[in-house]
A and B are shown apart, each in its own frame.
Chain A
Amino acid sequence: MRPSLRLLNLEVQGSRALYVCSVCRQEARPRPIVARQFLRHASSNADSLSERVRRKIWGTDNPPGLKDPYGESLLEKRFGKPKPQQQEESQVEETDELAESSDGLEPGVSYEPATSWHGLERVGHLGGWSDAPPSEADTYGSFGPKKKLYKKGPLSLAAHQAAVEISLMHALNKPLTNVCNVVEHDKSVFKMIWQTKILPNSTNWGEALEYRNENAKKSLFYIFEQIGSAQPETAKPADENAEVEEFEDFEEFEDPSGAASKQAFFGYQDARFKGFLTLPLTDPATKFAFLKRFSQLSGHFFPDNIVSQISTVKQAVDYIQGQLHPKPKKLAEHLENNKRLQAMPNIKIFSKRQTTLHRDDEMGRRKIIESELRARGLLE
C-alpha cells in the first residue's frame, strides 16, 4: 500500500478521535513499548490527562481552546467525517442550513439516496461493448477537409468562397459562423459563388458582393437564408443540395459523391476575382467567422497569435502560403537562399560537408594519390 493511500485509509479505521499513526495502525513493525507514547487514547478522552491538566490550569470545567490541540491533522480535517460531537452541536443549532450545505443540492430538489441500482442512469458498459451497434455519437465527421490545400490556386479559391459566404451572411444578417455547417456545397452553388465578384477595396462586408445576375443573387440568398436560419445540428448538406436542385436548374448535374467531389473545388483551379484579398478583418466576429470557415476549407490551422495579427484577408492567405514554404532546416539550404551571400563572389556554400577528399581533388592531389594506389594494386 502506497503511503499516500495509507494516509487516506484513516477513515476506514473507525474512530477519528483516537489517532494512531499509520505505521502503528498497519502494525508493520513490532511495536516497542516506547511506541505506546504515540498512542493518544489518553489525550482524546474527555477525562484524559491533558484535559484534566487544562481544566486545572484554566480553573474551569470548560476551558477555552481546542479540545484536542494535537489531534486534528489537515488530512483529517479535509477527508474525515465530522465528529459526532460536532454533529450533535450543529444539529442542535442549525439543522436546516447544514442539510442544505452538506448535500450541495439546489433548493427545491429533493435528494433521495438510492437503495438499489434499478432506475439509475447507466454509465459505461458492463462488457460486450463491441457487440453494440454504433450510435449517432460514434460517427466522426472531421471539421476540415481530409487533405490540406497546398497550392496557391485552391487556397485563393477557398478564401474567395469563405469571403463570399461571410459577405452573404452579412447581407442576410444571419449568424456568421453558420456557414461552417455546410462543409461542401453542390457544384452549382459553388459555381455561383465562384462567379460572384467581390468588389476590390470594399470595406463593408455586407455590400462587397457583385452577383453575376439577379437569378444567381436570388438563389444564393435563398440558400444562405436557409443555412443561416438552420440550427447547427439539423442542417445537413444533403438536404441543402436537394433544395438547390429543386430551386435552380443548372446545366449539368454530377453526383457530388462521384468523381467530381474527389477533386477539390470541382476542378476549378483559381479564383476568378481577387477582390477578396483587400477585405478587412477588423471586426472580431467577422474575423473569427472568416478564419473558421477558411481553415475549414483549407485545412490549415491559425494559431492565436497569428489570428490577433491578421487584419486583412490577404494576410491570412499569405500566412498559409508562408507556412507552405517554411524555413529550411539545414543551414546550408538557408545560406543558399541568402541573396546577400549569393552576391558575394568570395563565399562558396557547399550543400555537403567538405572532406579531405574534396580538398585533395580541388588541389589536384587526388589523381596523384589514386594513380599511386593503382600502381601498387591497392585500388581497382
Chain B
Amino acid sequence: MKRLQLQRWSSSVLSAQARTGGRLQHRLYNGIRHQSTASPAAPTANDQLIEEEPLAPSIHPPNSRQSKYQLPSPPVEAARESAKLAALHARLYLPSRLPLETLARSLVDASADPNPKFNNESLATLGHDLLTHYTSEYLICTYPRLPLTVIFAAMYAYVGPKTLAAMAREWGVESAAAPGGEVDPGYLQFKRIPPGADLKPVTGTARPHEDQAHWRKSITSSVVYDNEFGDPVKGPKNPSEQSKQDAQNIKGVTAEQANATFVRAVMGAIYLHAGRPAAKRFFEQHFLSRHLNISDLFNFSQPARDLSRLCARENFEQPVARIISETGRKSRHPVFVVGIYSGQDKLGEGAGASLLEARSRAAVAALKGWYLYSPLNVRVPSSMEEEGAAPWKPVHVDLGEVIV
C-alpha cells in the first residue's frame, strides 16, 4: 500500500490562495455520516461557492492597527509572533512539521471567520472523521460483543464534544472574548451565543416523522439517521441554500462546541502535516490513554430476561439461579449470594439484600461477562495501513446484543 503524499495537501491547507474546492464540500456536509447508502447530493460545479466567495477578506491588507480591527480573525503573520501559540505547540509536543500558522488556523472557529480558507472547519471535519474512525474500530475490535447503546456511550465518552472540550481546557487553551484581527492567535476564537439564548434541540434531521416526538426511536434507526454518538443530526441540504442561510445569520456557538472543533482540527492538522503515524500516535496518547470504565456504561432493565434470551440464542442451557450462601435471613440485614448457572457452568454471581436483588445482580454480572469479552492481541483494521504489516486475520465481531 502506497503512502499518500501529504505535503501536497498540507500546502493547500496553508496557503490562503489555494482553492479549497474539495474541502468545501466537506464543510457543507459536516457532521453527516456517509455510511448510509443514501448518498448526499452530489456536488456539482454549479454548487461550488468558491467563485462567489468574496475575495476581499482573503487578501489581508498590510499590517496596520486600524486594518487589524477590521479583520475577522488574526492575520497569518501574527502566528509567528504569538508566544501563546508557540507555547501551546510545545506543550502538546506537536511535530515540528505542523507549522504555527496551521495551529493558529485550527483555533479560529467558523463562527468567528466564515471564510473557509481561514477557519478550522475543514481541518475539524477531517479530524472528526479520523477520531471517530479510530475510536470506533478500537471499541469494536477490543469489545466485539458490546451492545450498540454502549458503543454510542463509549464513543461519546472518548471523542464526544464534552470530552474534547475538557481536553482543550486541560491543554490550557483559553478563549478570546470576541474574535477579531487584533486578538492574539493563541486564543480560541469563536462567536459566542448571546447570554440568555435558549439552545433549541436539533431539528431538520433526515429521520422521517421527526415531529412525532413520542414515537419510539429504535437503536437501529439511529445507526442510519443519527451521528456517531446516537444523537440527532441535521440532514443533508442543498449546499447553496445552506450557505445562504449561513451567510445571513452566523449564529454563535457554545464554548463546548468551539473547543471540540478545535481539538478535532488539531487532529486533522496533524494528519495533514505530519502523516498518519503521527496522527495515530497523537490519538493513542491523548484519547485512548484516557481511562474509561466501560462496564459502568451498561444499564439493564430486565437482566434476568436478557440473560435467558441470550442463553437461548447461543444454545446454552437455560440459566438457573441458585443460592450459594446466605446469612441473616430473619435479621434486618440479610445477605444472599446467588449464582446463575447454565448447566454446570456458573455464569455470574451476585450478592444482595433480597433474593431477587441478588439474582438480578448475578444476571447483570453474567451479562457483563458476556458483553465485555475482549480478545487477546487486538489488532485494528487501520493497522494494515502501515507498510510491512502482518497479513490481516479477520477479527471476531459478535452478532451484538440480544433483542428482546
Taking Cβ atoms with an 8 Å cutoff, the residues of A that contact B are: 345-348, 360-368
Contact = CB atoms under 8 A, between A and B. Distances in A.
B90 interface: yes
21 contacts: A345-B80, A345-B86, A345-B90, A346-B87, A347-B83, A348-B81, A348-B82, A361-B182, A362-B187, A363-B176, A363-B177, A363-B184, A364-B176, A364-B179, A364-B182, A364-B183, A364-B187, A364-B189, A365-B177, A365-B178, A367-B178
A365 B184 CA distance: 11
Nearest to B87: A346
A365 B178 CA distance: 6
Nearest to B186: A362
B69 interface: yes
Contacts of B178: 364-365, 367-368
Band of interface residues on B? 20 to 34
B86 A363 contact: no
B73 to A, nearest CB: 10
A348 B184 CA distance: 12
Interface of B: 69, 80-84, 86-87, 89-90, 100, 176-180, 182-184, 187, 189
Contacts of B189: 364
Contacts of A360: 177
A98 B62 CA distance: 98
Contacts of B69: 367
Contacts of A348: 81-83
Nearest to B180: A364
A362 B179 CA distance: 10
A351 to B, nearest CB: 14
A360 B182 CA distance: 10
Nearest to A362: B184
Contacts of B84: 346
Nearest to A344: B86
Contact of B90 (A346, A361, A367): A346
A345 B80 CA distance: 8
Contacts of A345: 80, 83, 86, 89-90, 100
A366 B176 CA distance: 11
Find the residue from A345, A347, A360, A364 having the highest chain B CB count within 10 A: A364
Contacts of A368: 177-178
Contacts of A364: 176-180, 182-183, 187, 189
Nearest to A359: B184
A368 B184 CA distance: 16
B20 to A, nearest CB: 26
Nearest to A361: B182
A346 B180 CA distance: 22
Contacts of B180: 364, 367
A362 B82 CA distance: 11
Given A345-B89, A368-B177, 5 more contacts: A345-B90, A360-B177, A361-B182, A363-B176, A364-B176
